[in-house]
Amino acid sequence: MVSPDLLPELLPVRADRGQPHLALIGLIAVATAIVGCGERGAPANQRQHLTSPSGRFVMTMLIGPTPSSWDIGVWKVTISTPAGELLFKDEDSKFLASFSVYWVWDQDDRLWLYNSDDSDVYFFARGSTDNQWSKVLWGQGRANESDCSPSGLYPPYVR
């Protein structure tokens, strides 16, 4: 990172004012913001557009309106095909956007979700006969030694 004190020395000087080009400073600021933001810094269990192991499904987490009088918003799971065809959207979500949620796919193309608000764990799976997606409450956190949730689901603070 370049010290702001050094910017006048590194940037071209305008002949009419003797000042660095403000447009160039703005361009540097915008470029820094774009490069510094995005998915690269997101933990593996919070990456958007996460593709299932088979490659047949893509999960995206959106923030939608709250189904109550609170104006916080809720996380809504959406599952689509790689071509963008919407297969499922969790319209009944109660995952408040002021809390974190974490997600991973398992090897059977089930999407698992951990809600940091109440430690509830859900999975989203397709029916074997009708191919309709459904949300299933699996339990709370790591409830016992027989935890069969996929590795990588929980954030580091959950032991």
| CA 53/CA 62 separation, integer angstroms | 21
pLDDT in tens, 43-62: 888 899 999 999 999 999 98
Burial class (CB in 10 A: 0-12, 13-18, 19+), 3: exposed
pLDDT for residue 64: 84
Tokens matching residue 61: 């987490």
pLDDT in tens, 65-105: 776 666 788 899 999 999 999 999 998 888 888 888 999 99
Candidate from 8-22, 35-49, 58-72, 127-141 with smallest mean pLDDT: 8-22
Query: Between these two residues, 14 and 82, which has the higher pLDDT value?
Result: 82
Task: State the pLDDT confidence band at 35, using cuts at 50, 70 and 90.
Answer: very low
SS (H, E, C) the chain: CCCHHHHHHHCCECCCCCCECHHHHHHHHHHHHHHHCCHHHCCHHHCCCEECCCCCCEEEEEEECCCCCCCCCEEEEEEECCCCCEEEECCCCCEECCCCEEEEECCCCCEEEEECCCCEEEEEEECCCCCCEEEEEEEECCCCCCCCCCCCCCCCCCC
pLDDT at 63 exceeding the cut of 60: yes
